[in-house]
C-alpha cells in the first residue's frame, strides 16, 4: 500500500478548497455534460435544495433510540411514499437501505431464513437466476452461503422460463426476475416467474433497482408493460433504488416485502453481550441521516407531477436517441427500450471499435458483452442538445469504423 501521512499541521480550508476544485477539473462533468452513464439528475436545482435540507441532519445518525423524532418522521414518510408508488400490499413493509446491492443482500438473507423455517428439509439452499441478473445476487449468495445457478437467456433476451423451471431442484428456494435487467434494459416475464415460485414453493424476488421508480409513472403515462410488481401473486420482495430513477442523491435504495410476517426473518436480533439488545434490519449499524434527509426533500418536492414529468423526459430522450441511431444506420436498439436504458447493437460494424472512438470523443458509456452493445442510461434532459451531441459523436465514431478503424487488442465490456 501507499501510505499518506496526515499533515503535521492541519491544512487551511482555503488550500483544501483550491485543491479539490483543481482536481475536480480533470473529472467528467456528469451534470452539465448530461452524460448518459450517470444516474439521471432531476435538474431544476433540485439537488442543491435537497442538499440544504440534508445539511440540517448533517451529522445525525439513525441507529437505535437516539435517532431524532424529526428524522424518524421523515423516514416514515419516505417508507409510506415508496409503498404507495410501488403498490405494496396493505400488509407489506418497506426497508430503506444504502443502495441496490444492500437491498438485494437483505432480500436474499430474508429468503434464506424464511426457507429455514418453511422448508427445513433444505440443507443447501439454492437460487435460480436468469443470466442477466445483477452480480449482487451472487455476492449475496457468497455472503449467505447459498448456491447459485444462472440459466441461459431466452431468444428475446429475457429470462427463459422453461430453462429456469428445468434448473429448479429440491434445494431451490429462490427465483427472481429483473424489471428491467441492467445488461439488456428489458423486463423479465415476472408473472411467469411468480407462477413458478408458487408452483414449487419458492421465494420470488423482483429486482426493480432500475425500474422501481420509473415504471409506475410509465404505466400512468399509458405505456403498456408486462406486470412486474406485487400485482403478481408469487412476488415476496422487491428491490427498488431511489438513487436511480427515483432521482434522489446517492445512498438510497429500498426493499419492500409482501407481508409483515416476513420481518422476523429479516431482523438480526442479538442480546448476548454486555450492552444489551442490538436489533437491525439492514447490513449497516450506525448510518448517516444525510442521504435519507436529501431523499425525503427530493421526493416531497417532486411530488407525483414531478415524477410524471421526469418519466416523460426519460421517454422523450429515449425516443430521440432511438430515432437518431436509426438515421446513422448500421445500429439498432435491443429490441425496443422499455425502461430507461438503451442498448445499441449492430450486425455490421464492430461496436468495440465504435466504443473506443466514442470514448475518444469524450462520451463515456457502458458496454455489454452479450450481445456486443453500447449501453446508455436515459437522462430526462430538458434541453435536447446533449442527446444531439451524443448522436453526432456516435455518427463520427461509426464513420471512423466504416472507414477501417479497428479495435485495439483486449477491449471488452466491463461493468465497473
Q: For the window 117-136, what string marks contact with ligand PLP as x by the rule CB under 6 A?
A: -----------------x-x
Q: In the bound complex, what is the minimum distance in angstroms from residue 98's beta carbon to ligand PLP?
A: 8
Least separation, in Å, of the C-beta of 97 and ligand PLP?
9
For residues 101 and 317, which CB has a smaller minimum distance to ligand PLP in the complex?
A: 101
Residue from the set 81, 88, 101, 126 that interacts with ligand PLP by CB under 6 A: 101
CB of 119 to ligand PLP, least distance (A): 26
Joined together, the cell numbers standing for residue 215 give 415504471
Element (H, E) at 390: helix 385-402
Could you give the CA distance from residue 178 to residue 133 in angstroms, rounded to a whole number? 7
**Nearest by Cα to 169 from 119, 207, 229, 131:** 119
The reply to whether 99 sits near ligand PLP by the rule CB under 6 A is: yes
Contacts of 93 (CB under 8 A, 6+ apart): 79, 83, 256, 257, 260, 263
Give least dist CB 95 to ligand PLP, A: 15
How far does CA 397 lie from the centroid of its chain? 29
Count, residues near ligand PLP per rule CB under 6 A: 12
Closest approach, Cβ 178 to ligand PLP, in A, equals 5
Residues 230-289 that bind ligand PLP (CB under 6 A): 241, 253
Q: Considering only residues 172-231, where is the footprint of ligand PLP by CB under 6 A? A: 178, 182, 207, 209-210
Contact 351, 373 (CB under 8 A): yes
At its nearest, how many Å lie between ligand PLP and the CB of residue 280? 19
- Which residue, 172 or 178, has its beta carbon nearer to ligand PLP? 178
DSSP string across 231-293:
TSTTEEEEEEETTTTT-PPSS-EEEEES-GGGHHHH-EEE--STT--EEESSS-SS-BSHHHH
Residue with Cβ nearer ligand PLP (209 or 344)? 209
How far CA 260 is from CA of 91, 92, 93, 95, 390, in Å, comes to 6, 5, 6, 11, 47
* Region for 183 from its dihedrals, namely left if φ exceeds 0, alpha if ψ lies in -120 to 50, beta otherwise: alpha
Neighbouring-strand partners of residue 332: 345
**Chain residue whose CB lies nearest ligand PLP:** 100
Closest contact distance (angstroms) between CB of 238 and ligand PLP is: 11
Is residue 377 close enough to count as binding ligand PLP by CB under 6 A?
Answer: no
Site residues (vs ligand PLP, CB under 6 A): 99-101, 134, 136, 178, 182, 207, 209-210, 241, 253
Amino acid at each position: 500500500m501507499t501510505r499518506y501521512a496526515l499533515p503535521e499541521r492541519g491544512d487551511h480550508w482555503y488550500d483544501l478548497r483550491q485543491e479539490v476544485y483543481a482536481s475536480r477539473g480533470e473529472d467528467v462533468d456528469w451534470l452539465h455534460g448530461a452524460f448518459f452513464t450517470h444516474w439521471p439528475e432531476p435538474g431544476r436545482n433540485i439537488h442543491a435544495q435537497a442538499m440544504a435540507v440534508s445539511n440540517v441532519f448533517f451529522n445525525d445518525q439513525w441507529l437505535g433510540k437516539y435517532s431524532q423524532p424529526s428524522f424518524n418522521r421523515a423516514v416514515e414518510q419516505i417508507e409510506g411514499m415508496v409503498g404507495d408508488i410501488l403498490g405494496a400490499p396493505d400488509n407489506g413493509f418497506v426497508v430503506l437501505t444504502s443502495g441496490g446491492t444492500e437491498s438485494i443482500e437483505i432480500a436474499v438473507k430474508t429468503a434464506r431464513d424464511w426457507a429455514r423455517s418453511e422448508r427445513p428439509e433444505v440443507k443447501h439452499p439454492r437460487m435460480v437466476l436468469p443470466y442477466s441478473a445483477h452480480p449482487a445476487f451472487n455476492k449475496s449468495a457468497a455472503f449467505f452461503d447459498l448456491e447459485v445457478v444462472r440459466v441461459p437467456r431466452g431468444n428475446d433476451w429475457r429470462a427463459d422460463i422453461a430453462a429456469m423451471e428445468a434448473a429448479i431442484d429440491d434445494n431451490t428456494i429462490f427465483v427472481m426476475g429483473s424489471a428491467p435487467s441492467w445488461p439488456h434494459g428489458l423486463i423479465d416475464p415476472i408473472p411467469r416467474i411468480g407462477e413458478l415460485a408458487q408452483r414449487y414453493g419458492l421465494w420470488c424476488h423482483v429486482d426493480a433497482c432500475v425500474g422501481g421508480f420509473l415504471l409506475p409513472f410509465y404505466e400512468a403515462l399509458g405505456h403498456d408493460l408486462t406486470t412486474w410488481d406485487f400485482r403478481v401473486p408469487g412476488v415476496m420482495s422487491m428491490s427498488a433504488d431511489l438513487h436511480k430513477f427515483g432521482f434522489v442523491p446517492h445512498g438510497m435504495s429500498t426493499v419492500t416485502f409482501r407481508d409483515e410476517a416476513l420481518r422476523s426473518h429479516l431482523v438480526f436480533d442479538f442480546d448476548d453481550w454486555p450492552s444489551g439488545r442490538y436489533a437491525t434490519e439492514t447490513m449497516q449499524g450506525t448510518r448517516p441521516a444525510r442521504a435519507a434527509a436529501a431523499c425525503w426533500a427530493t421526493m416531497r418536492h417532486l411530488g407525483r407531477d414531478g415524477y410524471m414529468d421526469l418519466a416523460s423526459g426519460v421517454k422523450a430522450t429515449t425516443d430521440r436517441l432511438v430515432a437518431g441511431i436509426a438515421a446513422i444506420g448500421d445500429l439498432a436498439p435491443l429490441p425496443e427500450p422499455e425502461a430507461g436504458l438503451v442498448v445499441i447493437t449492430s450486425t455490421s460494424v464492430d461496436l468495440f471499435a465504435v466504443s473506443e472512438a466514442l470514448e475518444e470523443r469524450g462520451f463515456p458509456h457502458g458496454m455489454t458483452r452479450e450481445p456486443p452493445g453500447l449501453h446508455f442510461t436515459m437522462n430526462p434532459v430538458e434541453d435536447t442538445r446533449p442527446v444531439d451531441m451524443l448522436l453526432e459523436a456516435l455518427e463520427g465514431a461509426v464513420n471512423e469504423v466504416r472507414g477501417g478503424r479497428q479495435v485495439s487488442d483486449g477491449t471488452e465490456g466491463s461493468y465497473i
